[in-house]
Structure 1
Amino acid sequence: MEQKKVLVTGGAGFLGSHLCQRLVDQGHDVLCVDNFFTGSKNNVLSLLGKPNFELMRHDVTFPLYVEVDQIYNLACPASPVHYQFDPVQTTKTSVHGAINVLGLAKRVKARILQASTSEVYGDPEIHPQPETYRGRVNTFGPRACYDEGKRCAETLFHDYEQQHDLSIRVMRIFNTYGPHMHPNDGRVVSNFIVQALKNEPITLYGDGSQTRSFCYVDDLIDGMMAMMALEEDKTGPVNVGNPDEYSIRELAEKIVALTGSKSEITYRPLPQDDPTQRCPDITKAKKLLNWQPSTKLEEGLAKTISYFDQLLKISG
Structure 2
Amino acid sequence: MISTAPSNILRHDLDNILSRMEGQWEAFRNESIFMTGGTGLFGRWLLESLLRANEQFELNLKITVLTRNPRAFRKEAPHLTQSPAIDFHIGDVRNFVFPARRYTYLIHGAATSAHETFQGEDPLRKFDTVVNGTRHTLDFAAQSGIKRLLFLSSGNVYGVPAAGMSTIPEDYSGAPSTTNVNSALAEAKRAAEFLTAYYAQKFGWEFVVARCFSFVGPFMPLDIHYAIGNFIRQAQYDECITVSSDGTSVRSYLYMADLVVWLLTLQLRGRNGTVYNVGSDRPVFIMDLARLVQSVVAPEKNVKVLGRTADSIGNEHRKIYVPDISKARNELQLDVWTDLNTAIRLTAASLKR
Equivalent residues in 2 for 1:209-288 (5 A)?
A: 209-230=248-269, 234-260=272-298, 262-267=301-306, 268-271=308-311, 272-288=315-331
The amino acid of 1:91's aligned partner reads F
| Residues 62/81 of structure 1: CA separation in 2 closer, same or farther (3 Å cut) | closer
Query: Is residue 12 from structure 1 mapped to residue 52 from structure 2 by the alignment?
Result: no
Q: Which residue of 2 aligns with 1:104?
A: 140
Q: Which residue of 2 aligns with 1:147?
A: 186
Question: TM-score by structure 2 length?
Answer: 0.81
1:58 to 91, 112, 119: 91
The secondary structure found in structure 2 opposite 1:264 is strand
Task: Name the CA distance, whole Å, in 2 between partners of 1:159 and 1:278.
Answer: 28
Count of aligned pairs between the two proteins: 308
Q: Which residue of 2 aligns with 1:298?
A: 341
Kept in 1, the 8 Å contact 2:90–2:96? The answer is: no
The amino acid of 1:88's aligned partner reads L
- Superposed CA offset, 1:29-74 (max 9, x none): 122222359x844443331211111234421011341222211111
Equivalent residues in 2 for 1:70-85 (5 A)?
A: 70-77=105-112, 79=114, 82=117, 84-85=120-121
Deviation at 1:202, TM superposition (A): 3.0
Task: Name the CA distance, whole Å, in 1 between partners of 2:82 and 2:246.
Answer: 48
The secondary structure found in structure 2 opposite 1:72 is strand
**How much identity, in percent, do the aligned residues show?**
25
Higher relative contact order (CA 8 A, sep 6+): 2
Kept in 2, the 8 Å contact 1:34–1:75? The answer is: no
Question: TM-score by structure 1 length?
Answer: 0.90
Kept in 2, the 8 Å contact 1:13–1:180? The answer is: no
Deviation at 1:11, TM superposition (A): 0.8
Task: Name the CA distance, whole Å, in 2 between partners of 1:34 and 1:185.
Answer: 22
The secondary structure found in structure 2 opposite 1:266 is strand
Q: Which residue of 2 aligns with 1:168?
A: 207
Task: Name the CA distance, whole Å, in 2 between partners of 1:114 and 1:50.
Answer: 25
Deviation at 1:162, TM superposition (A): 2.3
Q: Which residue of 2 aligns with 1:122?
A: 159
The secondary structure found in structure 2 opposite 1:31 is strand
Deviation at 1:289, TM superposition (A): 1.9
The secondary structure found in structure 1 opposite 2:280 is coil
Kept in 1, the 8 Å contact 2:218–2:350? The answer is: yes
The secondary structure found in structure 1 opposite 2:321 is coil
The secondary structure found in structure 1 opposite 2:35 is strand
- Superposed CA offset, 1:84-137 (max 9, x none): 423222111210111011111111221211000111111111331111112231
| Residues 117/43 of structure 1: CA separation in 2 closer, same or farther (3 Å cut) | farther
Deviation at 1:216, TM superposition (A): 0.4
The amino acid of 1:99's aligned partner reads R
Kept in 1, the 8 Å contact 2:40–2:113? The answer is: no
The amino acid of 1:246's aligned partner reads V
Task: Name the CA distance, whole Å, in 2 between partners of 1:57 and 1:63.
Answer: 8
The root-mean-square deviation of aligned C-alpha atoms, in Å, is 2.1
1:187 to 211, 218, 226: 226
The secondary structure found in structure 2 opposite 1:300 is helix
Task: Name the CA distance, whole Å, in 2 between partners of 1:304 and 1:292.
Answer: 20
The amino acid of 1:121's aligned partner reads Y
Q: Which runs of 5 or more structure 2 residues have no equivalent in the other structure?
A: 1-25, 55-60
Deviation at 1:242, TM superposition (A): 0.7
Task: Name the CA distance, whole Å, in 1 between partners of 2:285 and 2:47.
Answer: 32
Task: Name the CA distance, whole Å, in 2 between partners of 1:184 and 1:42.
Answer: 20
| Residues 276/248 of structure 1: CA separation in 2 closer, same or farther (3 Å cut) | same
| Residues 225/263 of structure 1: CA separation in 2 closer, same or farther (3 Å cut) | same
| Residues 104/269 of structure 1: CA separation in 2 closer, same or farther (3 Å cut) | same
Q: Which residue of 2 aligns with 1:69?
A: 104
Query: Is residue 29 from structure 1 mapped to residue 67 from structure 2 by the alignment?
Result: no
Kept in 1, the 8 Å contact 2:242–2:305? The answer is: yes
Task: Name the CA distance, whole Å, in 2 between partners of 1:205 and 1:80.
Answer: 19
Task: Name the CA distance, whole Å, in 1 between partners of 2:271 and 2:303.
Answer: 51
| Residues 19/131 of structure 1: CA separation in 2 closer, same or farther (3 Å cut) | same
Query: Is residue 113 from structure 1 mapped to residue 150 from structure 2 by the alignment?
Result: yes
